Amino acid sequence: MRKQLTFLSALALALPTTAGAQQSRSEIEPVIPSVEAAPIAYLIDAKSGQVLFSREADRRFMPASITKTMTTFLAFEWMEEGRLFPQQVYTIRPETFRKWHRVGSTMFLPADARVTVDDLLHAITTISANDGSIVLAEGAAGTLEDWLAAMNAKASEIGMTDSRFGTPNGWMDEGDTFTTARDLALLGQTMIARHPSKYAHFFGATGFEYNGIAQRNHDPITGVVRGADGIKSGFTNQAGYGFLGSAERDGQRLIMVVAGSPRGRMRNEAARSLIEWGFDSFDSRLLAPAEQRIATARVQEGAARSVGLRAGGPVRIAIPRGKNPQVTLSVRYEGPVRAPISKGERIADLVIAIEGMPESRIPLHAEQDVEVAGPVQRLVNGFAGWIS
């Protein structure tokens, strides 16, 4: 049975309780240079997952070098699991050198290279190293095929339901690699939320030097848009120009995707226009700090009759600036929840419904373990339930 609880706790005190003037989507759409400049455009608030702007968000396209974001995310995950370390040293295989030496964007790895994972990841995120992506994949997984299998498994795990990766670097593969703007934004959101320190270390540099060769980052917003710190641009003749980007100001982080632009200048203008519009058009409201309990869920057959629920961090939402829309918060979960429950287990969703905007959800997790009740505890729970 699906449980839905209207959310009327202290969080609601921070929100407007009466609707303002009705607003249409056309009233909050950004001005992009032209339809052709960014046929695909998508903008979300990273903390709440709210969709702030959407154009062709579920249209498949070839991501080109934006693919390297998935390679980087998988490397971050393996670092967290102790399967990969920044100071590991890899060599380049002779066949890899012959195939990828000076092909597209490259870090110019020599044939006798001994290169650290740290340098490979910096080269991948900053100068889009095709050769570095292959060396990392083969060194970490043993074979390119095993790395690609892990990329696709990880994409499926985090909910990228309309993406497939056939290369670790996005090089042209006759459409075997594809994704959507919605999936890419989810990838960026998940990577930053799970690995904030790694993201800060490996993304946001304006240039990178390796083996005496200095190259600059072609990211269209880092160093140009205030608060911008990544993520990854991409281009091939087949894919056109695209970009997955992010910026943070005053606690509000936005993640954007533009894709399919015919020229780099048009892609860059669309990216800057979209993310600046997002910061100009929405205020970020803090509803609850990270340590605050959001709600409780009833537990069946547990040593405790209920479990507290918390978000993975502070709860923030984006409100259209200058508007006073009706805001409804509710908690939804499949219930009753059955013991045993592990601390951190996802139990429910905080559902955010703001007038004139698509519904969004923030996962809620158990704040403590709940063991299965013993015989005496079951009697106590049954009696308490009868009394209530």
Residues 264 and 171 in one domain: yes
Average pLDDT over residues 250-263: 96
Least confident window among 96-110, 265-279, 369-383: 369-383
Residue 338's closest CA among 302, 289, 382, 313? 302
Residues 233 and 105 in one domain: yes
Q: For residue 3, is pLDDT > 60?
A: no
Residues 197 and 267 in one domain: yes
Q: For residue 13, is pLDDT > 50?
A: no
Cα–Cα distance, 241 to 256 (Å, whole number): 14
CA distance readout (Å), 14 to 21, 108, 281, 329: 19, 54, 19, 11
Last residue of a domain, one of 245, 263, 282: 282
Q: Is 201 exposed, middle or buried (0-12, 13-18, 19+ CB in 10 A)?
A: middle
Averaged confidence pLDDT in the chain:
89
Q: Write out the residue range of the structural domain in which residue 129 sits.
A: 27-282
Contact 72, 191 (CB under 8 A): yes
User: Residue 164 has which token pair?
Assistant: 């497939």
Last residue of a domain, one of 282, 307, 326: 282
Q: DSSP assignment, residue 352?
A: E
CATH classification at residue 350:
2.60.410.10
- Please tell me whether residue 95 adopts helix, strand or coil conformation: helix
Residue 60's closest CA among 157, 160, 167? 160
More confident residue, 9 or 229: 229
Residue 357's closest CA among 281, 280, 244, 292? 281
Residue 172's closest CA among 293, 271, 258, 63? 63
Average pLDDT over residues 13-40: 53
Residues 254 and 355 in one domain: no
Cα–Cα distance, 67 to 178 (Å, whole number): 9
Residues 120 and 98 in one domain: yes
What is the predicted pLDDT for the residue at 20?
Answer: 35
The pLDDT-based confidence of 25 (bands split at 50, 70, 90) is: very low
User: Among residues of the chain, what percentage have pLDDT more than 70?
Assistant: 87
Cα–Cα distance, 221 to 18 (Å, whole number): 37
Residues 311 and 274 in one domain: no
- Please tell me whether residue 96 adopts helix, strand or coil conformation: helix
What is the predicted pLDDT for the residue at 19?
Answer: 33
Q: What is the pLDDT of residues 117-149, one digit of tens each?
A: 999 999 999 999 999 999 999 999 999 999 999
Q: For residue 34, is pLDDT > 80?
A: no
What is the predicted pLDDT for the residue at 373?
Answer: 85
What is the predicted pLDDT for the residue at 361?
Answer: 93
What is the predicted pLDDT for the residue at 378?
Answer: 57
Residues 151 and 268 in one domain: yes
What is the predicted pLDDT for the residue at 262?
Answer: 94
What is the predicted pLDDT for the residue at 386?
Answer: 55
Least confident window among 53-62, 70-79, 285-294: 285-294
Residues 312 and 340 in one domain: yes
Residues 91 and 201 in one domain: yes
Number of domains within the chain: 2
Residue 358's closest CA among 76, 52, 2, 112? 52
What is the predicted pLDDT for the residue at 16?
Answer: 41
What is the predicted pLDDT for the residue at 223?
Answer: 93
Cα–Cα distance, 220 to 117 (Å, whole number): 26
Last residue of a domain, one of 254, 282, 310: 282
Q: What is the pLDDT of residues 206-250, one digit of tens each?
A: 999 999 999 999 999 999 999 999 999 999 998 999 999 999 999
Q: Is 336 exposed, middle or buried (0-12, 13-18, 19+ CB in 10 A)?
A: middle
Residues 59 and 135 in one domain: yes
What is the predicted pLDDT for the residue at 353?
Answer: 94
